[in-house]
Structure 1
Amino acid sequence: MTGQDTSLYPISSQTNSKMSGQDSSLSSIPFSIATVSVGYSSTPLHSKLYAIAQAGFTGIELAFDDLVSFANIHLLRDVEEDDYDGLSEAACEVHNLCAAQNLKIVVLQAFSNFEGWPEHSDERMAAFKKARGWIKIMKGLETDMLQVGSNDAPIPPLSRSRMDAVRDLKGLSDMLAEEGFKLAYEARSWATVSSTWKDGWQVVKAVDRTNCGLCLDTFQITAAEYADPTTANGLHGGVSPEELGKNFGDSLYDMSTTVPAEKVYLLQISDAWRPKAPLSAEMNEDTKLKSVWNYNYRPLPFEGGYFPVIEIARKVLDTGARSWWSVEAYDGGRDGKEEREPDLEMFTKKAFASLTRLREECIHFGE
């Protein structure tokens, strides 16, 4: 029993031999959790960190909003998002708090809407100015990885050319390399140019920098190619569920055989609720519906969601990657409106248990 409604997912795919049976290397995979998933941005950061450490996690993804909220309290003033001096000062204290709990700051997230703006545009200049500020913050945090989410701005002003995105990410990778930092690129399922894992990988390959890799995400991978919050059955339309499952399985196999292990920097893990009623533009005017789904309908694995989390995790493992597994959940229940679990320690312990179970399910899958 996996906790997933596998009847909705007739996924069939080829297998490869990089992971089979008992794999002792899986025990070496470190577990992390995004601070944005624990409580809210208004929840004191020290309370989040304590609960995370008590649950057994050894790392965090630090959400920028959590840093800003902490800076407001730590510096006893309102700190703007572009006050990089103030945020850098607060970042040093966040590093100290994490060190006291034996927590590694795995990544600063989420740096979004950076790449692909027209050359010499105000948007591009602002994006690189912001990048310099975030790098300053990273120094204070003593983290070496920046998560970059693919741009979801409209065309125009965003460029349709993938090579413009590559140009900018090369520049950012080089800026990060000067500090010994790396870039984890995530293809977001509602993004304009790069929305699938394959899009993300093609970008990373073209960037061709040793410090540029992928942030893979069970939600984004599935929402881009298989699941759809606007349909009654929660699946992409246009083809039969059987053909859809085969196509998705083939895509996952391609991922497992084409992405090198060293280019998988992070695997973000959550499940998803199938909305009680399909999401519609009338309900969320001027908003990308997959973004609404992302930020409100993402429970932990094995809580009753319907995504093939085990299958995706196995395919990522089949690349040979044993990098960080990190919980990134936004659970507003089946209607997307429920309050989050107020007991932080209860939630973080459930989150840690879900990763532990996922690891075991991957080892024994099919037995």
Structure 2
Amino acid sequence: MPISRLSLGDHEFGIATLSLGNWREHRLQPRLEAAARAGYLWIDLFDECWAAYLEENGLSREDHHIWEPTQENLKVAQKLAGVVKSLGMRIACTQPLRKIEGIKDPEERQATLDLVAKRFPFMRAFDTDLVFMCANIRKDSGVTSDLAVVAQDLAQLGDMAAAYAKADGGPMLRIGYEGLSWATRNTWSSSWEVVRFANRQNVGLILDAFNILAVEFADPYNVAGHGRIYPTLEESLDVLTESLVSLVLTVPGDRIFFFQCGDAELVNPTSFLPPSDPDTPLLLPWSRGHRLYPLEQSRGAYMPVELVGAAVLGTGYQGPISLEVFNTSLDQPGQMVPTDHAMRGLDALQGLMETSKSIFGFWANSVERKKAINQVVQRLRSSNHKL
């Protein structure tokens, strides 16, 4: 059983399975046990980890099999849910659904939406209600980011989820939509636009601090080496806070279905080179290998994550605050990797909540906003002279 139950206010803490260790080196159950010992209440189940768990139980881990609602697959899903519950936790969601919305060809579109529906029986088996979808990263002529098309797709997914819930009599299933930082719709505002126009109560916004900041604050390839896209840190933060003020004032907290947190390492752009493959998104290598838990300044973290945290809290969001971090440290073997990362993450979440609350309300007026910016500048510059 868990040795602690840590949360702050109404916000319980969660962590993604891949933020506890890579599935190739670490079986899922030991990672879950490490999360429970640390005191997390929620688990964000990644597809790769679910596939590996199926394989551990003698079933196929191929992509086209893992969401087939066979009796065998669903039995393993129920088994996993039982393990999670026995540890005092719950599965918050599964992810990621990719390349779903905006498909032009009618047959391909319907077949892709049906792939989402295949997850619905698993949601029941896992005892979760949230289906997590990333904004489409396809750039070919077969997709569009047109608002009317994308909103219609999300509305149809919401209707499909509602119809499933009505048919089986269970709780409503929800569709969450996240603006991935290298997708066409890569900002919180463009993602919210789609959710708003989909106009379904079971379709909501997923926010990720890393993805927000990777678009609106940071650039790992900046030649000055500081990762900013503006001449001064103050200007970068001024533009960012303006966006986050808009977030607080326009997005109701109950339309945010999930909040993920992550920071990132300040890399040296003279040695951290863009990917050689032109089809690889520029931010992908940084995202996959250099994320950190919030405010880990001793490890090179430099993002103003507390501004995003304060803004999300300011909307009235009441759901879990979860960690989504990818780093090469998670690929290392050894039974202490999940334990060490679980504790590191929990310390980071507690620090993030405290720091975010110290600047809570920066959207109230220009004076509070300036005070918050100054506080963040002092924190960042105290640990990194490049900023």
- Letter paired with 2:325: A
1:174 aligns with 2:159: yes
Counterpart pick for 2:293 among 281, 287, 300: 300
**Conserved in 2, the CA contact under 8 Å of 1:55 and 1:349?**
yes
SS of equivalent residue, structure 1 residue 214? strand
Cα distance in 2 for partners of 1:254, 1:44 equals 42
In structure 1, what is the equivalent of residue 239 of structure 2?
A: 247
**Conserved in 2, the CA contact under 8 Å of 1:225 and 1:236?**
no
Identity %: 26
Deviation at 1:322, TM superposition (A): 2.3
Deviation at 1:64, TM superposition (A): 1.1
Cα distance in 1 for partners of 2:50, 2:291 equals 22
> Are residues 297 and 284 of structure 1, via their aligned partners in 2, closer, same or farther at CA, if it must alter by over 3 Å?
farther
SS of equivalent residue, structure 2 residue 22? coil
For structure 1, which segment, 273-282 or 149-158, has the greater mean C-alpha deviation from structure 2 after superposition? Answer: 273-282
- Letter paired with 1:36: L
SS of equivalent residue, structure 1 residue 330? coil
Instruction: Point out where structure 2 has 5 or more consecutive residues left out of the alignment.
Output: 1-6, 166-171, 360-371, 376-387
1:201 aligns with 2:192: yes
In structure 1, what is the equivalent of residue 323 of structure 2?
A: 327
1:154 aligns with 2:143: no
**Conserved in 2, the CA contact under 8 Å of 1:67 and 1:87?**
no
SS of equivalent residue, structure 1 residue 267? strand
Deviation at 1:272, TM superposition (A): 0.6
1:231 aligns with 2:222: yes
Matched pairs, number: 337
> Are residues 199 and 239 of structure 1, via their aligned partners in 2, closer, same or farther at CA, if it must alter by over 3 Å?
farther
- Letter paired with 2:344: K
SS of equivalent residue, structure 2 residue 264? coil
In structure 2, what is the equivalent of residue 352 of structure 1?
A: 346
| Deviations, residues 249-271 of structure 1 (Å, cap 9, x unaligned) | 10011111111011112110110
In structure 2, what is the equivalent of residue 68 of structure 1?
A: 51
Q: How does 1:19-34 map to 2 (within 5 A)?
A: 26-34=8-16
In structure 2, what is the equivalent of residue 38 of structure 1?
A: 20
> Are residues 155 and 163 of structure 1, via their aligned partners in 2, closer, same or farther at CA, if it must alter by over 3 Å?
farther
> Are residues 66 and 282 of structure 1, via their aligned partners in 2, closer, same or farther at CA, if it must alter by over 3 Å?
closer
Counterpart pick for 1:88 among 69, 74, 80: 74
**Conserved in 1, the CA contact under 8 Å of 2:14 and 2:321?**
yes
| Deviations, residues 36-87 of structure 1 (Å, cap 9, x unaligned) | 111112321111111110000011001111111000111x243322221243
Q: How does 1:2-151 map to 2 (within 5 A)?
A: 26-42=8-24, 43-74=26-57, 76-83=58-65, 84=68, 85=70, 86-122=72-108, 124-151=109-136
With normalisation by structure 1, the TM-score equals: 0.86
Cα distance in 2 for partners of 1:213, 1:96 equals 27
> Are residues 364 and 172 of structure 1, via their aligned partners in 2, closer, same or farther at CA, if it must alter by over 3 Å?
same
- Letter paired with 1:198: S
Cα distance in 2 for partners of 1:318, 1:256 equals 6
With normalisation by structure 2, the TM-score equals: 0.81
**Conserved in 2, the CA contact under 8 Å of 1:107 and 1:143?**
yes
Counterpart pick for 1:318 among 304, 311, 314: 314
| Superposition RMSD in Å | 2.2
- Letter paired with 2:86: A
**Conserved in 2, the CA contact under 8 Å of 1:26 and 1:322?**
no
Cα distance in 1 for partners of 2:162, 2:288 equals 31
Deviation at 1:173, TM superposition (A): 1.1
Instruction: Point out where structure 1 has 5 or more consecutive residues left out of the alignment.
Output: 1-24
**Conserved in 1, the CA contact under 8 Å of 2:275 and 2:282?**
no
| Deviations, residues 302-352 of structure 1 (Å, cap 9, x unaligned) | 22211101111011111121221001111237xxx9748851112101111
- Letter paired with 2:160: M
| Deviations, residues 175-201 of structure 1 (Å, cap 9, x unaligned) | 122321111111001002x11000011
**Conserved in 2, the CA contact under 8 Å of 1:64 and 1:109?**
yes
> Are residues 87 and 280 of structure 1, via their aligned partners in 2, closer, same or farther at CA, if it must alter by over 3 Å?
farther
**Conserved in 1, the CA contact under 8 Å of 2:19 and 2:341?**
no
- Letter paired with 1:163: A
In structure 2, what is the equivalent of residue 268 of structure 1?
A: 260
- Letter paired with 1:106: A
SS of equivalent residue, structure 1 residue 352? helix
**Conserved in 1, the CA contact under 8 Å of 2:187 and 2:212?**
yes
Deviation at 1:287, TM superposition (A): 0.4
- Letter paired with 2:126: L
Deviation at 1:113, TM superposition (A): 1.1
In structure 2, what is the equivalent of residue 8 of structure 1?
A: none
In structure 2, what is the equivalent of residue 220 of structure 1?
A: 211
SS of equivalent residue, structure 2 residue 83? helix
In structure 2, what is the equivalent of residue 20 of structure 1?
A: none
- Letter paired with 1:262: D
